[in-house]
């Protein structure tokens, strides 16, 4: 019985921590990728683009811009006589994909109803114990009709009180 409870607790902990662990993993993957892109910049031929000052959008000042909807890793930049920017660097399609994946993960993280139900269950541990002892309460729990602060005094059944803790 103790082993079963520990296994259930471990599985619930994994379910709750999965989105956080996934976010950490995605952040680490993004940082590793950024480091690899810096190395590519130093070792490969750079692309040069001209960006009007009004259209320049820095994602990370001095390091990365968004140009025509795509990320562009900046190696160096200069301003021209007419105020435009001449920027040398690399288009970063892999980080674009990572950003899309992270946005999708965040959207799924916020909209997951199963996690909300799991948190509801974890906030009501006493109801699980009572559900095992009271007839008619189990269907209500399974249908998620249980509310915090529910008055169970009108339920029939013999409830054996727990002995006091010493």
Does residue 91 contact residue 72 with C-beta atoms inside 8 Å?
A: yes
pLDDT in tens, 3-20: 999 999 999 998 898 888
pTM passes above 0.85: no
Cite the beta strand spans of 52-131 per DSSP E. Answer: 58-60, 64-67, 70-79, 85-91
Dihedral sign (CA 97, 103, 109, 112): negative
pLDDT in tens, 49-64: 999 988 898 988 988 9
CA angle 110, 34, 17 (to 5 degrees): 30
What is the domain partition of the chain in residue ranges?
A: 2-111
Quick one: the chain helix, strand, coil %, rounded to 5? 55, 15, 30
């Amino acid at each position: 019985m103790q082993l079963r409870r520990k296994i259930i607790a471990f599985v619930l902990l994994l379910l709750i921590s999965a989105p956080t662990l996934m976010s950490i993993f995605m952040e680490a993957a993004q940082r590793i990728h950024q480091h690899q892109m810096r190395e590519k910049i130093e070792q490969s031929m750079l692309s040069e683009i001209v960006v009007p000052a009004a259209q320049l959008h820095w994602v990370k000042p001095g390091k990365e811009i968004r140009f025509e909807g795509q990320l562009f890793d900046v190696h160096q930049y200069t301003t021209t006589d007419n105020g435009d920017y001449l920027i040398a660097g690399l288009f970063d399609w892999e980080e674009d994909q990572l950003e899309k994946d992270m946005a999708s993960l965040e959207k799924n993280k916020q909209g997951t109803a199963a996690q909300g139900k799991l948190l509801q269950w974890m906030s009501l541990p006493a109801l699980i114990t009572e559900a095992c002892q009271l007839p008619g309460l189990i269907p209500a729990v399974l249908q998620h009709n249980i509310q915090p602060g529910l008055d169970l005094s009108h339920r029939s059944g013999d409830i054996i009180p727990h002995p006091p803790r010493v």
